[in-house]
Amino acid sequence: DFVESEYIALEDPPGSFPDGFIGNRFYFRSVEVPFDTTSQVFIVPREMAITIDPRGPAPTAVESVVNGLRVLEFTMHESRPVVPEPGSVSGREFLPSINIAANATWESFVDGMRDVLADRDVRDPSAVRLVRTILRGSENAGPEAKARKLYEWVLANVESSEAFFGSAPAMLAAKTGNRVRVLRYVFGLAGIPSDLVAVRSKAADITESPVADAATYASDVLRVQLPSGEPWISGGERWMTFG
């Protein structure tokens, strides 16, 4: 027996790509379930320039024009499960899959993140007082000593969450939020410059792609600018060593 359901989901353009879109990666094969038929259909305006981002032995598109719209249909038959190998690279690198995007470039991805975060680090007087309290007794210390003291305080007092785009002063006041964002905020209040950096793990998909899929660089770290160098720090683990 087969049950087929169909629905429509309306979504706003992603903040990182206000003049474009990025789809959800669709897999035609699994490591668990056999598929009799797997198919994905994209319908886009004929004049829209799109980028097809395949992985593995993905099917090629069968294209047609229906009512002035461009229709791309990707289909595979009799996909048997893949037996995972020990220590394998990310399955996203070799499982047949397709994603489609428009104007989803890495440049617009970075610019979009900058735009979203532009007003999320406002100078809050209570946060300034807190930073002064944390650094009490270290006023004459160097930037690295201050950075270490702030780092230790944030990791010990701020509960980690995935709220990357939240307000930094609000996260600091609530003592919960994205620790890397909070660290960058308190460093800035202490006059210590730093950069937010998006990174990917060694286990992530390393396929070079023109499509800026946020799932590729799914983690964030801080590159701190100190006289002694530029240590990279992460707020993910509470007892992680500075640098």
The pLDDT assigned to 180 comes to: 94
42 within 8 A of 89, measured Cβ to Cβ: no
Average pLDDT, the chain: 91
CA distance 181 to 167: 9
Residue found by looking up tokens 């780092």 in the block: 151
Q: Which pairs from 55-58 meet CB under 8 Å and 24+ separation?
A: 55/25, 55/92, 55/93, 55/94, 55/95, 55/96, 55/97, 55/98, 55/205, 55/207, 56/29, 56/93, 56/94, 56/95, 56/96, 56/97, 57/96, 58/28, 58/96, 58/97, 58/98
Lowest-confidence segment of 34-43, 115-124, 211-220 by average pLDDT:
211-220
Residues 82-103: pLDDT tens digits? 988 888 888 889 999 999 999 9
Q: At what angle do helices 179-189 and 125-134 cross, to 10 degrees?
A: 90
Residues 156-192: pLDDT tens digits? 999 998 888 999 999 999 999 999 999 999 999 999 9
CA distance 186 to 80: 52
218 within 8 A of 193, measured Cβ to Cβ: no
The mean pLDDT value for 134-150 works out to 93
The pLDDT assigned to 27 comes to: 95
CA distance 96 to 119: 40
The mean pLDDT value for 27-51 works out to 93
pLDDT over 70 percentage in the chain: 100
Lowest-confidence segment of 47-61, 66-80, 100-114 by average pLDDT:
100-114
Lowest-confidence segment of 18-22, 98-102, 105-109, 145-149 by average pLDDT:
18-22
Whether residue 147 is predicted with pLDDT greater than 80 in this model: the reply is yes
Q: At what angle do helices 125-134 and 143-157 cross, to 10 degrees?
A: 110
The pLDDT assigned to 20 comes to: 85
The mean pLDDT value for 138-147 works out to 92
- CA distances (Å), 94 to each of 31, 65, 134, in order? 11, 31, 49
